[in-house]
Amino acid sequence: MTPALSPWLVRLAGAYLAAGALFAPLWAFRLVNRTDPVAAHGTLGFRLLILPGALLLWPLLLGRRLRGTMAPPVERTAHRAAARRAAR
């Protein structure tokens, strides 16, 4: 790594974390209620617990919010596929 590249990587990481620090409280205290109905009844401790994850994963959470796919994803496993085939 060249010495000129290092400051830019640090600035980029700082900008990423700053954007996450702006997004995470909004997510934890407002938007998570629309993602998971059970989270709407979450306590302050729960919301503080999800803050670090929202801070680091903010691009994924924001992308889901902008696309409008806020429903929890349905997992695709062999067991669910077999159950679906048996139900037909």
Domain boundaries, the chain: 5-72
Better-predicted residue by pLDDT, 65 or 69: 65
Q: What is the pTM of this model?
A: 0.72
User: What local confidence, expressed as pLDDT, does residue 70 receive?
Assistant: 62
DSSP letter for each residue of the chain: --TTHHHHHHHHHHHHHHHHHHHHHHIIIIIHHHH-GGGGG--HHHHHHHHHHHHHSHHHHHHHHHHT--SPPPP--HHHHHHHHHH-
Round the average pLDDT of the chain to a whole number and report it: 88
| pLDDT tens per residue across span 48-59 | 999 999 999 999
78-82 average pLDDT score? 90
CB-CB contact of 58 with 27 (8 Å)? yes
User: What local confidence, expressed as pLDDT, does residue 43 receive?
Assistant: 92
